[in-house]
Amino acid sequence: MTSIPHIPVLLNEALQALNLAQSKLVVDATYGRGGHAQAIFRRLPPGAQLIVIDRDCAAIEQAEAAWGAEKRVEAIHAPFSRLSEIIGGRDLVGKVDGILFDLGVSSPQLDQAERGFGFSRDGPLDMRMDQTRGITAQAWIKHVDEKELARVLRVYGEERFARRISRAIKKTLEEKELRSTGELTRLISAAVPTRERGKHPATRSFQAIRIAVNDELQEIDAVLPQALEVLSQGGRMVFISFHSLEDRLVKRYLKTQSRGDPYPRDLPVTHDMLKPRLRLIGKAVMPSAQEVAINPRARSAVMRVAQKVE
């Protein structure tokens, strides 16, 4: 299978949403391979700074190689759940004019067999975004119990055959180790009784296990209030999600913060008295048919934008 080159999703829409012409400091909290960051930097005013963050060592190595001579760009190896710590440690809380979150797994991670994210090429069962810490997918599958494994597959992967797959995995582990993505893919494929048109039978399970191994939803939940904290007045946060659970967390938080204080509905309270902290900018944005044709991995993307008003 030919790998799909890294193409930043909803690039023009994200650049427009960030309102870069007026920015002095922007954070790309999910650097990946720099597609968004490079375009952001080109549009920043002279003297403006860009901080890029990624938990993937390979991403930061690429960033340092690309930006090493540029004093206006700083690359930081960390999960974005440490956003407040990173920005606070530089005395920049309340001074960030824009933050971009391109959630989920990146194309280079999917395409490199040795990372263990994909099922199309055989590789070690790793799936860690940060290979310097945490347990691998192999270890997680081995130690999680059957009931919890089924729950993860059902909730994180929306896999309707979660119990059947979980039972098959645990039964296999009684006899031998599962060490490679190929072994897991074949096992899942054998356990799934019907095929979904256009989707590999291991797609949902691999997604679910990856989300669990990397605590992806917990990371998002942790960073949402931090993003609001570090933004300047009028600063914008932009989220690009690829999974309904990711988007649901973002949508719920943005909506809650745009409503303001939770007064009882029957009280005569005006909107300004509620003290909302965010203003929603437009509606959810999806990629065009043209973008999806060029980059099929963009098909499930959803972008949401909010502006700090406090």
Distance CA 213, CA 163 (A): 19
Give the span between the Cα atoms of 230 and 85, in whole angstroms: 10
User: Which residues are within 8 A (CB) of 108 and not within 5 positions of it... i.e. 6 or more apart?
Assistant: 6, 32, 33, 58, 59
- Class of the CATH-defined domain 131-213: mainly alpha
Name the strands in the sheet holding 278-280, side by side, starting at the edge strand that comes first in the sequence.
73-77, 49-54, 25-28, 96-102, 231-241, 302-308, 278-280
Over residues 230-278, the pLDDT tens digits come to: 999 999 999 999 999 999 999 999 999 999 755 555 555 555 556 899 9
Q: Report the alpha-carbon distance of residue 28 to residue 63 in Å, rounded.
A: 12
Interval 172-189 mean pLDDT: 96
How much is the pTM?
A: 0.91
Per-residue pLDDT tens over the stretch 190-218: 999 988 877 899 999 999 999 999 999 99
Contacts of residue 206, Cβ cutoff 8 Å, sequence gap at least 6: 117, 118, 119, 127, 157, 181, 184, 185
pLDDT value of position 3: 37
Is the domain spanning 11-108+216-308 CATH 3.40.630.10? The answer is no
The DSSP H or E segment spanning 69 is: none
Residue 117's nearest CA partner among 53, 213, 189, 225 is 213
Neighbours of 227 (CB within 10 A): 25
- Where along the chain do its domains lie? 11-108+216-308, 131-213
Average pLDDT over residues 45-65: 96
